[in-house]
Amino acid sequence: MFYFEPSVPHGITLQAKLLLGFTLMLSLVITPDPSEAATVEWTGVVANTCVVTLNSNGLLGVSISGQAMSSEQTAGQPASVAVMSTGSNVVTFGSPALTLWAPSYTGSPIVSSKQQSNKGHSSTWMVTAHQATIEPGDTLFEVHAQLDDATNAFPMGAYKVSSEVTCAPAN
For the chain, domain boundaries = 50-169
Model confidence, pTM: 0.74
- Domain boundaries 50-169, corresponding CATH code: 2.60.40
Q: How far apart are CA 94 and CA 104, in angstroms?
A: 27
pLDDT tens, the chain, 171 aa long: 555 555 555 566 677 677 767 666 666 666 566 778 999 999 998 888 999 999 999 999 999 999 999 999 999 999 999 999 999 999 999 999 999 999 999 999 999 999 999 999 999 999 999 999 999 999 999 999 999 999 999 999 999 999 999 999 987
Q: How far apart are CA 93 and CA 51, in angstroms?
A: 14
Q: How far apart are CA 122 and CA 77, in angstroms?
A: 17
Q: Residue 150: is it exposed, middle or buried by C-beta count within 10 angstroms (0-12/13-18/19+)?
A: exposed
CB 91 within 8 A of CB 131: yes
